[in-house]
Amino acid sequence: MLSCRSPWSNKYHPPLGDALLPSDELRKLEVEANEVFAIYRDQYYEGGISSVYLWEDNNEGFVACFLIKKDGARTAHGRRGYLQEGLWEAIHVIEVGPEDETTRYCLTSTVMLSLTTDKESSGTFNLSGSIRRQMTMDLPLADGHLCNMGKMIEEMEGKLRNSLDQVYFGKTKEMVCTLRPPSEVVMRLPNS
């Protein structure tokens, strides 16, 4: 039977007898991470859903998984009105090494994007894709795990947004303009 642990209650749904739970220290960090990441989500995503899960690994460190799901569909909260359907999902997994003066953080981030517009003036348009990047940093523990992980996620999301903008939106715009030039370009073309 599939059972999932809530990062808010720390209980499995449906209940699981021999369930693995984070240590008290890690659980405290998980609760704080969920509170901080909810603020981050609201500031950067204008809503959506976020969850943070932490668990021990086998190397005297731990793993943190930061998840964001933002629905940009017409009926979604925080909608700006441009999309028929839209979804942004970000997954950030950070392997945190053993604690020392400096700690190694290995971040793997994946963003999945799906957009659909359906306007009479432009027709139906679908764009979907994903991008994955990795980053490793050795950071002083004096700043705290949450601060270190937050800085890495913020930096990585900026890089991912720029990559998506260049790869997906830039190339798509280039192709659309090639296949269907804007009216101001068509008006300047010589008669054939």
- Kindly report, residue by residue over 115-137, the tens digit of the pLDDT: 887 777 667 778 888 999 999 99
Task: Quote the strand ranges of the chain, DSSP E.
Answer: 4-5, 12-13, 49-56, 62-71, 85-96, 102-119, 123-140
Architecture of domain 7-182: Alpha-Beta Complex (3.90)
pLDDT score, position 118: 76
Q: Pseudo-torsion of CA 17, 20, 22, 24, nearest 10°?
A: 40
Average pLDDT on 181-187 reads: 61
CA proximity to 109, closest of 54, 148, 147, 149: 149
Q: Residue 46 has what DSSP assignment?
A: S
- For 36-46, the pLDDT digits (tens) are 999 999 999 88
Dump pLDDT digits (tens) for 143-176: 899 999 999 999 999 999 998 888 777 777 777 7
Residue with structure tokens 């002083």? 140
Q: What is the pTM of this model?
A: 0.83
Distance of CA 144 to the CA centre of its chain: 22
